[in-house]
């Protein structure tokens, strides 16, 4: 694999993780994500890493499309309400759905795989399978 695409893929993974950090905090504290983002940017070391721009895109994109994103998640989460989902899973789903619907340069399988991989690292044993199924259903809807 060429060094450029691998480096870009790793940078996007870091960006998704940073976006998750901010969205998770906003969700737990019941604050608007852009407000938490400002505080977060003040806490991280400078110079800011290059991947931060994509993290900001994800955070702002999720925040500005939250109602539609949550509507899709709620519609396709079989047997789960969005409020019952673990906070990590809910926010990983939000990031992935944002990418599925609003980021055409991110391939659907990439958005889904990245959410599943982060769930393996940061959530419950059942979360990767749950997110994979949920995001597959939403991706099928989005490509109709």
Domains of the chain, first to last:
3-142 (1.10.940.10)
pLDDT of residue 144 exceeding 60, the answer is no
Tens of pLDDT, residues 59-117? 999 999 999 999 999 999 988 899 999 999 999 999 999 999 999 999 999 999 999 99
Q: Which of 38, 31, 100, 36 is nearest to 68 (CA)?
A: 100
Structure confidence at residue 1 (pLDDT)? 44
CA distances from 107 to 23, 80, 101, 121, 141 (A): 22, 26, 10, 22, 15
Helix (H) / strand (E) element for 140: namely: helix 127-142
Q: What does pTM read for this prediction? A: 0.93
Q: What's the whole-number mean pLDDT along residues 29-56?
A: 92
Range in 2-16, 33-47, 128-142 with the lowest mean pLDDT: 2-16
| Residue 97 contacts residue 58 (beta carbons within 8 Å) | no
pLDDT of residue 4 exceeding 80, the answer is no
pLDDT of residue 36 exceeding 70, the answer is yes
């Amino acid at each position: 694999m060429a060094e450029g695409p691998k480096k870009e893929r790793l940078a996007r993974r870091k960006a998704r993780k940073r976006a998750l950090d901010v969205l998770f905090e906003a969700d737990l504290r019941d604050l608007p994500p852009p407000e938490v983002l400002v505080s977060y940017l003040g806490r991280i070391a400078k110079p800011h890493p290059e991947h931060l721009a994509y993290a900001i895109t994800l955070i702002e994109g999720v925040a500005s499309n939250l109602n539609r994103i949550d509507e899709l998640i709620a519609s396709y989460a079989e047997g789960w309400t969005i409020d019952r989902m673990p906070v990590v899973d809910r926010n990983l789903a939000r990031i992935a759905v944002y990418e599925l619907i609003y980021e055409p340069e991110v391939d659907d399988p990439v958005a889904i795989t990245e959410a599943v991989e982060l769930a393996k690292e940061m959530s419950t044993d059942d979360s990767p399978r749950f997110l994979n199924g949920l995001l597959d259903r939403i991706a099928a809807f989005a490509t109709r």
